[in-house]
Amino acid sequence: MQIRRVVAGESPQGTATVISDDFVEPITVSLLRGAEFYAIWGSDTIPELPDHGHTRNLLDWFPAPGGFRFVVVSLSPDAKVPIQSVDRSTALVELDEKLPGTREILAAEPSGMHATDTVDYVVILAGEAWLGLDDAEDLLLQSGDTVVLNGVRHGWRNRGSEPCVMAVALVGAMRP
């Protein structure tokens, strides 16, 4: 899948202009087989305007309180993800390098469950996904459906036959 990112910002003359127009490369990791992560935009601080549209170096995949991330995630159908053995220690190093902060939020079981200190706004753009929560039956979400996750433990599965593509905005929050 190709994800094009167009960034508009303010020119030195104070006019709105296209600052960049490029394609975002997917991030893949062996521990999360069949998933592609596209980092579109983010900040670890409250945005200030005018913004000149320059990318920021982000330390973690998940934002700090007051920060945000905008990502696109593609999940392959479970049945189409090949089962392979991976060296766990090498895979964890890869996870830390490519999606920093992710290892700390992933639960050991069931696989893929996680909770973050964020409010997540999710839109299913294509395909379908099953949302798993602690005390509810898995919920089928299809193209056009939206979900707001308020820092709760959850997991995603694609039991369909086509990739599921989700746009996700994460806003950093504080727990009491």
pLDDT tens digits along 76-134 = 998 776 666 778 788 889 999 999 999 888 766 656 789 999 999 999 999 999 999 98
Alpha carbons within 13 angstroms on the beta-carbon side of residue 65 total 4
The predicted model scores a pTM of 0.91
pLDDT tens digits along 68-78 = 999 999 999 98
The angle subtended at Cα 82 by Cα 77 and Cα 88, nearest 5°, is 115
26-172: CATH topology:
Jelly Rolls (2.60.120)
**Domains in the chain: boundaries:** 26-172
